[in-house]
Structure 1
């Protein structure tokens, strides 16, 4: 039952987010109500993924090394920075076209370094694939891109500080509901 819910959650998340790319005219015709639908489907998808992941058996696909936890944490700090950079248009957005989708891909890879079970492969691998497909659709629809030209130093500092604070908060919560990313 866990694997089924997990797969349905990943597919629902992917479908809800790719709808705009696959059927842009239909999504545009929905107007603002389309955002509500995507948000609702995303919420259901998250619940399905969380329950599916928690209920799935631990079927080891590959063995992981405890030493990779530090690499995972470093990548996660970069992930939180990329998410902040996307909204704040920081310095890195001069060179990185899709900072949030890069963040999702790095998040997935970081977790696969420390989790080698089938449920993790489905969850993190599935969301990595969704992010990769999303980048392809966006780049095909708009192949010409120019990075941000105006960067404010204060935003850069805010994004870096925010990444550290959010990483600490997420790590603390993660430790309460699952394995602690900081050991112990």
Structure 2
């Protein structure tokens, strides 16, 4: 039952998010039937349910090892996490990163997932990080297909704004290291 919660949460997250890029007609018909506000509320509710299912499913599933992660995987994951947070931040506004990466948020999620798969070789990691990484990859492909030719943003951030972004990333990175045991039940540093 616990693994089923985790799988359901990952599938629900992916399906709700992919509806916009894979089945835009269905999404539009649902939105026109219930209205824009209720549709947004329903999407938010489904995403919150998916997060709860993933968190509770993860925390209550016993890990069974599927593969041996590389010995350097944990250190790679810690580095990739910093890059992922930087990309997630770049998606929030003007950034020079957006001149090089079309979908910084989805790319950040994909990097986060790959990093965690390098550090963990158990069944629940494979479901959570593999599933969310696959969702991010499919989203990058389908959103790019729907948007057509990439037009790089004309606006870029100032050097001061970029430095502020890096400072925020460092703070968020440190906070995530501290709260990781309460979120995932696993300490990042040490044991």
* TM-score bin (small chain): over 0.9
Q: Distance in 2 between matches of 1:6 and 1:94?
A: 36
Residue 19 of structure 1 aligns with which residue?
19
> How does the TM-score come out when normalised to structure 1?
0.93
Which of 32, 38, 41 pairs up with 1:36?
41
Q: Distance in 2 between matches of 1:60 and 1:42?
A: 28
Residue 122 of structure 1 aligns with which residue?
127
Q: Distance in 2 between matches of 1:100 and 1:36?
A: 22
Residue 139 of structure 2 aligns with which residue?
134
Residues 155 and 88 of structure 1: CA distance in aligned 2, closer, same or farther (over 3 Å): farther
Q: Distance in 2 between matches of 1:140 and 1:32?
A: 27
Aligned structure 1 segments of 4 or more residues deviating by more than 6 angstroms: none
Matched, 1:163 2:140: no
Q: How far apart are 1:69 and its partner, in Å? A: 1.9
Which of 172, 180, 183 pairs up with 2:187?
180
Aligned residues: 184
CA contact (8 A) 1:94 1:146 kept: no
Matched, 1:100 2:105: yes
Q: How far apart are 1:40 and its partner, in Å? A: 0.7
Residue 116 of structure 2 aligns with which residue?
111
Q: How far apart are 1:158 and its partner, in Å? A: 2.0
Q: How far apart are 1:66 and its partner, in Å? A: 4.9
Q: Secondary structure at the match of 1:52?
A: helix
Q: Distance in 2 between matches of 1:141 and 1:5?
A: 32
Larger deviation, residues 141-150 vs 74-83: 141-150
Q: Deviations over 1:112-136 (max 9, x none)?
A: 1111001100110000111111112
Residue 56 of structure 1 aligns with which residue?
61
CA contact (8 A) 1:69 1:114 kept: yes
Q: Secondary structure at the match of 2:106?
A: helix
- Unpaired stretches in structure 1, ≥5 consecutive residues: none
- Unpaired stretches in structure 2, ≥5 consecutive residues: none
> How does the TM-score come out when normalised to structure 2?
0.89
